[in-house]
């Protein structure tokens, strides 16, 4: 009897040590405050970046706006979307602490990350590659001989090590910083998913010819998902339902998801990056719920 009471007291004490944000669900807090606190990147063109006025825009921001609208409809009240800039190094901790309700950008779910946060169903998929300037390949054609810049707090270095044992990498706080190091010749290549690398090259080095390696299949495919607070089922369900509903019509390359995709990745978008059939089918398979 005493042992049982002590265990209950220990659990109660642990709950008292948690931040207040961790004790209430996201929907409860948003219902009270009318504010949805979101995070995304500032250096992930065209997923999330700043317009000339400093306002966050991009594919991920439009996804967050759809989630905001779904939240407002669910709660029956107006909801303001507050978007903060995050980095790969702090994104998980800011959701875990309750500072942010959701982060949508180019985060890849891993079991290690699942220890402190939850993830939505995937909303994008792309392959990990190395970008190098074309002239670099004349002297250093093999990626194993390059020093590769990667983003701090990303899964990229691990993927490269699995694919290219012994490859040398150097971490930078942002991909903009890694690309700047490439421009200075500090590294001979930078690695991330292909679409991000192409976006960076067009933003930071538009007049230099670049190559994505390997030229055929990527080193590894990565799914992108939104980061969510752990153990908040109601909030996770709403986010998942929103993402799945956006993909209605995707089998025919139609519907809300394709509208957002074409806006940023279409021929008239920021960067042409067509949605291939295998990625389309992968995204459609994330809808495991029967009607």
Give the whole-angstrom CA distance, residue 230 versus residue 237: 12
DSSP one-letter code for 244: H
pLDDT, tens only, 227-259: 999 999 999 999 999 999 999 999 999 999 999
The model's pTM: 0.80
Size of the chain, expressed as the number of residues it contains: 291
Structural contact between residues 12 and 219, judged by C-beta atoms closer than 8 angstroms = no
The continuous run of DSSP H or E covering 128 comes out as strand 118-133
Q: Is the pLDDT of residue 1 over 60?
A: no
Q: What is the mean pLDDT of residues 86-96?
A: 93
Give the class (CATH, top level) of 19-125+222-284.
alpha beta
Structural contact between residues 97 and 52, judged by C-beta atoms closer than 8 angstroms = no
pLDDT, tens only, 121-170: 999 999 899 999 999 999 999 998 999 999 988 889 899 999 999 999 99
Q: What is the maximal distance between C-alpha atoms in the chain?
A: 76
Instruction: Please give the CATH architecture assigned to the domain spanning 127-221.
Output: 3-Layer(aba) Sandwich (3.40)
Antiparallel, parallel or unpaired: β 80-85 and 35-40? parallel
Q: What is the mean pLDDT of residues 186-205?
A: 89
Structural contact between residues 19 and 64, judged by C-beta atoms closer than 8 angstroms = no
Ranges of H-type helices in 90-155:
91-96
Four-CA torsion 178, 180, 181, 187, nearest 10 degrees: 80
pLDDT, tens only, 18-43: 444 444 699 999 999 999 999 998 88
Give Cβ neighbours of residue 275 (< 8 Å, ≥ 6 apart): 253, 258, 261, 265
Give the whole-angstrom CA distance, residue 107 versus residue 109: 7
Domains of the chain: which residue ranges? 19-125+222-284, 127-221
Between 121 and 193, the higher pLDDT residue:
121
């Amino acid at each position: 009897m005493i042992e049982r009471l002590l265990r209950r007291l220990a659990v109660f004490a642990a709950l008292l040590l948690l931040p207040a944000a961790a004790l209430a669900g996201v929907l409860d807090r948003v219902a009270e405050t009318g504010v949805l606190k979101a995070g995304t990147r500032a250096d992930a063109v065209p997923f999330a970046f700043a317009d000339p006025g400093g306002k966050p825009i991009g594919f991920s921001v439009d996804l967050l706006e759809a989630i905001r609208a779904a939240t407002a409809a669910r709660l029956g009240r107006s909801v303001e979307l507050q978007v903060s800039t995050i980095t790969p190094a702090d994104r998980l901790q800011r959701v875990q602490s309750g500072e942010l309700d959701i982060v949508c950008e180019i985060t890849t779910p891993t079991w290690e990350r699942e220890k402190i946060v939850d993830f939505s169903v995937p909303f994008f998929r792309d392959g990990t590659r190395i970008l190098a300037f074309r002239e670099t390949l004349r002297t250093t054609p093999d990626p194993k001989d390059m020093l590769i810049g990667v983003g701090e707090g990303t899964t990229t270095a691990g993927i490269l090590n699995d694919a290219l044992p012994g490859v040398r990498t150097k971490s930078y706080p942002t991909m903009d910083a890694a690309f700047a190091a490439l421009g200075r010749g500090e590294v001979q290549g930078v690695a991330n998913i292909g679409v991000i690398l192409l976006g960076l090259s067009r933003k930071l080095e538009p007049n230099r010819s670049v190559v994505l390696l390997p030229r055929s299949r990527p080193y590894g495919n990565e799914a992108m998902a939104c980061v969510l607070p752990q153990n908040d089922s109601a909030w996770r369900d709403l986010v998942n339902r929103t993402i799945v509903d956006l993909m209605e019509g995707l089998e025919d390359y139609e519907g809300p998801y394709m509208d957002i995709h074409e806006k940023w990745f279409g021929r008239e978008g920021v960067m042409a990056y067509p949605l291939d059939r295998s990625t389309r089918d992968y995204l459609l398979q994330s809808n495991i719920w029967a009607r």
